[in-house]
Amino acid sequence: MNGQSTQDSLVVKQPMKFQCKQLIIPTALMTYGVLGINSNRLKSINNNLRVGITENIDRKFTVDDYSRYVPALAVYGLNAFGIAGKHNLKDRTIILGTSYLIATGTSLGLKSMIKVERPDGSNDNSFPSGHTALAFASAEFLYQEYKDVSIWYGVSGYIIAAGTGYFRIYNDKHWFNDVAMGAGIGILSTKIAYWIFPFVDKTLFKSKKNVSSAIVAPFYNGNQMGVGMLINLK
């Protein structure tokens, strides 16, 4: 624990500056997601992908319930093994918590306003994919924290996030445009979290105490999704 604290204390804060080009990918994904709600052509793509992925499948795999958190957990794991990321424990936890809150709030808000039936007909909370939003928020978090160490950390995170989106379609819970929208929301949520971090840190976390532990705990009960954050100060 002392090694981790010492390591974290040596990490220099590097605020991420806003650049318009950072909006290109999430905006493109979200635009596709929105257009897919009413476009007959994109609906046809949705149906073809659904048939191609789910055809002759008798067994569901719920790995997507857990894989959405893996890239974010990897950040804490890498730090625990001595591979320092961009931010210390307190700062990265604030950033991750902010990202998850934005992604979750946006996803739930859109689900309540835009009633799209799931492919399996279980309810009308299909658009957007909340699982995918958190997965890509986690992947962008891993990328931002470790892109200066090795780009492959970020690549692996995005592979896991893409797999989460795939399994949402595989398990017949989402259309492709739901997943695209979720991916865009997730990426943008984390970028926003980094952009506003200096303000959030200064405004809400003025304490100079050291952080001994921090936990971010998202939840999903089938109908509702949320996230909680606990920071233990010493």
In this prediction, residue 60 carries a pLDDT of 79
Least confident range of 2-6, 57-61, 113-117? 2-6
Report the amino acid identity of residue 89: L
| Average pLDDT value for the chain | 86
Within the chain, strands assigned E span 211-220, 225-233
Question: How do residues 178-219 score in pLDDT, each as one tens digit?
Answer: 999 999 999 999 999 999 999 998 888 765 555 444 555 555
In this prediction, residue 2 carries a pLDDT of 46
- Kindly state the DSSP code that residue 96 receives in the 8-state scheme: H
Give me the DSSP letters along 132-173. Answer: HHHHHHHHHHHHHHHTTT-HHHHHHHHHHHHHHHHHHHHTTS
What 3-state class would DSSP assign to 24? helix
pTM (2 d.p.): 0.83
Question: How do residues 143-165 score in pLDDT, each as one tens digit?
Answer: 999 999 999 999 999 999 999 99
Packing angle between helix 89-113 and helix 2-9, nearest 10 degrees? 80
Question: How do residues 23-40 score in pLDDT, each as one tens digit?
Answer: 999 999 999 999 999 999
Q: How far apart are CA 199 and CA 24, in angstroms?
A: 24
In this structure, are residues 53 and 119 in contact, taking their beta carbons and an 8 Å threshold?
no
In this prediction, residue 225 carries a pLDDT of 54
Length of the chain: 234
Question: How do residues 117-139 score in pLDDT, each as one tens digit?
Answer: 999 999 999 999 999 999 999 99
Question: How do residues 71-95 score in pLDDT, each as one tens digit?
Answer: 999 999 999 999 999 999 999 999 9
